[in-house]
Structure 1
Amino acid sequence: MAIAKLDVVVLDCPDPAALAGFYAEVIGGKVVPAEEDWVNLELPGEGVKLAFQKAPGFVAPEWPSPKRSQQFHLDLNVEDMDAAEKQVLALGATVLDAEDRERGFRVYADPAGHPFCLCAV
């Protein structure tokens, strides 16, 4: 029997509203400010939720780097990898590792520098 149930994954960032808006465009959902330094992204259906917390002095992770570890990353399933790539780049993502076009995933950074993967389904 589990001890707990995962409620929310929180990303530290310099601008919670902006990063929540980025992810709302990428995965859907509704941006809901909760506090001055905290914004929730309400996702349709049940499951894991995302929230964004202002972190003074935030330092973005580096991928790949043992000196500034990525700490975590999000895997986002997509039907059309090329179309999804164009869309996330237009929203402000940057490419970290997408040279192998035949591989089942490509790695990007969100506008705050957190790594995420687009994964083919």
Structure 2
Amino acid sequence: MALAKLGAVVLDCPDPRLLAGFYAELLGGTVEVEDGWADLTTPDGRALAFQAAPGFTAPQWPSPEHSQQFHLDLTVEDLDKAEAGVLALGAKPLDADDRSRTFRVYADPAGHPFCLCAC
């Protein structure tokens, strides 16, 4: 028997409203903003939250000295189409050289790494 249930994954960032908007465009769902905090509820009921972090320093990928600490794997049906979409939303490619894999790595507007993974 579990002692707890996962409520949300929370990302530190300089602007919670902006980053929640990025992920809402990417994943769908609704955003609720409160002072220094934003909650995204996706259409399937999952939660992703964003917390203001003064002095935020973005992770670097790949870099053992500046660990990414965690990342999101987002499944997509068409990598090329999804890539065009996330780039239009402000994501930055982190490994554009290897197109043969079934995943691609990007940074969100605050610098958090995430992967688009072919399903």
The alignment's TM-score, normalised by the length of structure 2, stands at: 0.96
RMSD between aligned residues: 0.9
Task: Select 1:93's aligned residue among 76, 91, 94.
Answer: 91
Task: Answer with 84-93 or 94-103: which moved more.
Answer: 94-103
Q: Partner amino acid for 1:15?
A: D
Deviation at 1:40, TM superposition (A): 0.4
For 2:48, the equivalent position in structure 1 comes to 50
The alignment status of 1:37 with 2:27, answered yes or no, reads no
Task: Answer with 68-77 or 37-46: which moved more.
Answer: 37-46
Runs of 4+ in 1 over 2 A off after TM superposition: none
Between the aligned residues of both structures, percent identity stands at 70
**Distance in 1, Cα, partners of 2:56 & 2:66:** 12
Gaps of 5+ in 2: none
Q: Partner amino acid for 1:9?
A: V
- Please list the CA deviations of residues 1-29 of structure 1 after superposition, one character each: whole Å capped at 9, or x if unmatched: 21211010000000000000000000111
The alignment's TM-score, normalised by the length of structure 1, stands at: 0.95
**Distance in 2, Cα, partners of 1:8 & 1:98:** 30
Q: Partner amino acid for 1:42?
A: T
**SS of 2:115's equivalent?**
strand
Deviation at 1:45, TM superposition (A): 2.3
- Please list the CA deviations of residues 31-82 of structure 1 after superposition, one character each: whole Å capped at 9, or x if unmatched: 111x210000011223x41000000000000001111110100000001100
The alignment status of 1:80 with 2:103, answered yes or no, reads no
**Distance in 1, Cα, partners of 2:96 & 2:103:** 8
Deviation at 1:102, TM superposition (A): 1.9
